[in-house]
Amino acid sequence: MSEPLESLLKQVEARAEELVGLASRLIRFQTPAPPARNTAEAQSFIASFLEEKGFAIDRWDVYPGDPNVVGVLRGQDPARYKSLIINGHVDVAEVSQGEAWDTDPFDPFVKDGSLVGRGAADMKGGLAGALFAVQLLHEAGIRLPGDVLFQSVIGEEVGEAGTLQCCKRGYSADFAVVVDTSDLHIQGQGGVITGWVTVKSKETYHDATRRNMIHAGGGLHGASAIEKMMKIIQGLQELERHWAVTKSYPGFAPGTNTINPAVIEGGRHAAFIADECRLWITVHFYPNETYEGVAREIEDWLGRVSQADPWLKDNPPQFRWGGASMIEDRGEIFPSLQVDPQHEAVRLLGGAHESVLLEPAIVDVSPTVTDGGWFSDAGIPAAIYGPGNLRNAHSVNERVSVEQLVRFTQVMLKFIYEWSHTLK
């Protein structure tokens, strides 16, 4: 290890209080989603922080009051050396009235060796550590040969995928680290897609005609959309069990790929036969699957279910998949992310982890989802690596270990330095 880098790693420990102060500053920005549309002030702070460290800033509104910020630090020789994206979301989980916090969720404090506050684990601790690593490199006058892009995005908590907007804007690199909650594991993830399944009648009938629909000789080829949705739900349960038997992925318990019938809506009022019913489902799938693929499987399966029913055969279910926002259009997509343990960046990140923590890095899969899948979707190799654990994410008195935050910052500092010095 070079002497300047070793000195910087020691500085992280010596300046731990300053690191905690930076994380606390980020937590004080009240950015829960929902309600969202509240990240502009926090993003201004991050943009100014990065600009002071030599980054060129690109800021644009994804939604009014919710801007993305991308800082680009051009390397000394980017044609020959690897580039890196550091990615994190500035929004945090919602806070409900009546939650038993020890203090205001946005008034952070340190207790029993942990920083407490909304977003401490998910994921303003990760953002602060990565920013502090950048700060130390800048203060030391170290000019990196490869490009470093720092993305502070919005909307991850409600599926608004600020990271997707960065990809669409053309930002790319040789590798991306999503500094989200992983307990310092190097992780991939499965994926999630929501969908609406709609059963709709071509005709609308008075409730007094029900006898003609359900009794022999009634002569009315009609049905309640609510009752027919029961067959759709049964079909989804059968497919879910089939997936549990026929599909698996290392690191996931059998049957982790689920189809949750989350919300059902239907009918007009008591004087009508229900002529429409809508089912909102959430589908979890494995890292080696795509959201497009699982959506097609569900449509094909329910198509066969419908062909076996005289009414559904003529009134097949309709589908609407995904969405840009759980707030705006009641839908979301989180693509899956596979991590290659042999990828050069993954091995380098694992080496940095082992050097700092004196124990091998764990490469596994997250039981939840992050924006990291959008990098995979865009063809950018990526991994999730951040402080905090999921037991604390979204919890009352959310917290992150200060010791772990320090170690994370050291690992990121070493990885940023070494990856940007890696030849293409």
State the Cα–Cα distance between residues 37 and 55, nearest whole angstrom: 25
CB of 295 closer than 8 Å to CB of 194:
no
Integer CA distances (angstroms), 33 to 154, 283, 359, 374, in order = 9, 22, 36, 20
The DSSP bridge pattern shows strands 191-200 and 318-321 to be: antiparallel
Whole-angstrom distance between the N-terminal and C-terminal Cα of the chain?
21
Per-residue buried b or exposed e for 398-422, using 16+ beta carbons within 10 Å of the residue's own CB? bbbbbebbbbbbbbbbbbbbbbbbb
Look up 289 and say whether it is catalytic.
no
3-state DSSP: the chain helix, strand, coil percent, rounded to 5? 35, 20, 40
State the Cα–Cα distance between residues 281 and 7, nearest whole angstrom: 52
State the Cα–Cα distance between residues 305 and 172, nearest whole angstrom: 43
Strand order in the sheet with 114-116: 109-111, 114-116, 399-401
Look up 91 and say whether it is catalytic.
yes
The DSSP bridge pattern shows strands 276-285 and 191-200 to be: antiparallel
Structure tokens at 225: 């959309």
Bridge partners (DSSP) listed for residue 357: none
Helices (H), 267-388: 291-307, 310-314, 344-357, 373-377
Bridge partners (DSSP) listed for residue 143: none
Cis, bond preceding 261 (omega within 30 deg of 0): no
> Residue 272 carries which DSSP code?
B
- 66, 147, 156, 332: the catalytic one is 156
CB of 182 closer than 8 Å to CB of 384:
yes
State the Cα–Cα distance between residues 114 and 94, nearest whole angstrom: 21
- 91, 160, 174, 332: the catalytic one is 91
CB of 323 closer than 8 Å to CB of 332:
yes
Helices (H), 318-401: 344-357, 373-377
Catalytic site residues?
91, 156
